[in-house]
Amino acid sequence: MNLQRPTRSTLVEQVASQLEKLIEEGQWPVGERIPPEPELVEKLGVSRNTIREAIRALIHAGLLRTRQGDGTYVVASSSLGPVLQRRMERSKLSETLEVRAALEQEAARLAAQRRTADDIKQIQITLGACGAAEQSGDMEAYITADLAFHKQVIVAAHNRLLSELYDSISESVTNSLSLASFRWDLVRVHSQLNERLLEAITCQDSAEAGETVRSYIQASQDALLDLTEGGNTEHHE
């Protein structure tokens, strides 16, 4: 039997793999600060340098980020997200919307099939936030609530990989959309379609759910085209 003594690099890889698994399984969720080095050293039984190198590897992979004087935080649930995010940042917004449409249409169809009572409740809550933002005339709050609404639809599809892919795409869309490009006439169209989407998911009508998302993304694409042609003149009344 030919055995090789483990090297320092493989030990770092093993530790990094364990930490990555905690992130992927949600034990260390996005936004949470990871345990301090001394605690990880004690739990894993390795040196502080090994822990530091493993953390550095995960920072490089885009899973962790260090905040000076505050610790290290989880910023992505898999290494796939940061890679896609960098790629999407180099893409046109119109291309990003097309990819988002493909993901959201399938997610809406799956959500209609798989949604639970709690899923419906969470979607209703985010839809209520959309309505409140529209009533108050707060465009920034509306965009945030609208994205949260569609994220809840993704969650209701109960497909983890789909959710991770969507997170990468939606962040790119959010970063690319200026407040000026999101008009109140578009908000009114989106509000009607969001209501329709909720009804389709509640009634478990997969075909209608997918078609509603198609209409929603088409409205966004049309608005983007208007913007590039010098539109965007309407204001909230």
- Reported as a single tens digit per residue, the pLDDT across 32-41 is 999 999 999 9
What pLDDT, on a 0 to 100 scale, did the predictor assign at position 231? 46
**For 118-170, what is each residue's pLDDT tens digit?**
999 999 999 999 999 999 999 889 988 998 999 999 999 999 888 878 877 77
Confidence (pTM): 0.64
Q: Which residues, 6+ apart, have CB-to-CB distance to 52 below 8 Å?
A: 37
Look at residue 218 in the predicted model and tell me its pLDDT. 85
Cα–Cα dist 86/91, whole Å? 9
Look at residue 4 in the predicted model and tell me its pLDDT. 47
Cβ 156 vs Cβ 144: under 8 Å? no
pLDDT at residue 3, as a whole number: 36
Confidence of residue 180 (pLDDT cuts 50, 70, 90): very low
Q: Are 169 and 99 in contact (CB under 8 A)?
A: yes
Tokens (6 digits) for 225 = 């085209």
Write the DSSP assignment of 181-215 as a string of letters: GS-HHHHHHHHHHHHHHHHHHHTT-HHHHHHHHHH
In order of their start, the domains of the chain are 8-74 (1.10.10.10), 80-228 (1.20.120.530)
Do residues 113 and 206 touch, judged by C-beta distance below 8 A? yes
- Given a contact cutoff of 8 angstroms between Cβ atoms, the answer to whether 133 and 83 are in contact is no
